[in-house]
Amino acid sequence: MTETTTAPLLSIRNLVTEFRTESGIVRAVKGVDLDIESGQTVAVVGESGSGKSVTSLSVMRLLAKGVGSITDGTILFRGRDGQVRDLVQEPETAMRRIRGNEISMIFQEPMTSLNPTQKVGAQIAEAAELHQGLSHRQAWARAVEMLSLVDIPEPERRAQVYPHQMSGGMRQRVMIAMALACNPALLIADEPTTALDVTVQLQILELMRRLQREIGMGILFITHNLGVVAEIADKVAVMYGGRIVETAAVQDLFDRPSHPYTRGLLASLPTVDHAARAAGEVARLRAIPGNVVDPRNPPAGCDFNPRCAWAIEACRAAVPPMLPVEPGHATRCIRWSELDG
């Protein structure tokens, strides 16, 4: 533990997370480095199975006991008191005080995260009672206040209902209210808008941006949706095969993607071709060929090389390092400067 107030809010270095399976040890996260500052939103994007959610669960130390474990690296977190702690080394008793208090998490499916037998107000109040030492009456008042903060109408009445009596968008707002009840320094949002329609997605993203401005928290936003990334992120980390393959400010990433995988993700975004539509042609999506890397049997060298049109023998010889593209922009591709525009 060190004492500083200039360190990033969260600094992950060389994080390695493994799982015990019937097939042996599977390395799901392989040497991840990532920084988040207070008031900053960092999006981690990639296909399912790329290691995004495992990275976030590693930060929270919520890996299944006896199955998943952090085997290398550090997760340095600067708490409210200015102390920087390595969450990998913190005892479980300390992590219980940090979870839901200084670091909170929103999961992608609120119906599996909320208790169906408890009123939503009671579930929000529980966190305030546990971490802030409020009385039951004070905690209930805090729950109603949080429901109002996340723009749920008639918060006093809605605090008395059960999760199944609310819409999907309202349940997601309850999850956000619960996560923010203790004014966390860091919010981890794991695909929080996946199950919502587009209109509600935009409402939730705007709500998170507004609350971030009011509270000043950092956000680690896990998603596979590049449209959402463009809406909310300041900085983007693209993951593939358990590694970060590109990092950049959000506008730089969209303007100048420098890893073949990032280019493939951006090329797969749906577009409207008005000329083709007028001619009666069917719009076709551009998919990345091949399949996501199997973590039980990863390829030699660059994890993306079996799917990459630019791969050469050197790409199969060794895992590429992160190479600078420009200040604040790095890529894990030895041929990035040769890729045609």
Break the chain into its structural domains and give their ranges: 108-181
Q: Which helix (H) or strand (E) holds 244?
A: strand 243-249
Burial 241-266, CB ≥16 within 10 A → b, else e = bbbbbbbbbbebbbeebbbbbbbbbe
- What is the pTM (predicted TM-score) of this model? 0.89
CA distance 126 to 101: 12
Query: What pLDDT is attached to residue 161?
Result: 96
Q: In the chain, what is the straight-line distance between the N-terminal and C-terminal CA atoms, in Å? A: 46
In this prediction, the residues of the chain whose per-residue pLDDT falls under 70 are 1-5, 110, 195, 271-285, 340-341
| DSSP, res 99 | B
pLDDT digits (tens, 9 = 90+) for 136-184: 999 999 999 999 988 899 999 999 999 999 988 889 889 889 988 888 9
Query: What pLDDT is attached to residue 273?
Result: 59
pLDDT digits (tens, 9 = 90+) for 29-42: 999 999 999 999 99
CA distance 301 to 306: 10
pLDDT digits (tens, 9 = 90+) for 48-63: 889 999 999 999 999 9
Burial 218-235, CB ≥16 within 10 A → b, else e = bbbbbbbebebbebbbbb
Query: What pLDDT is attached to residue 2?
Result: 45
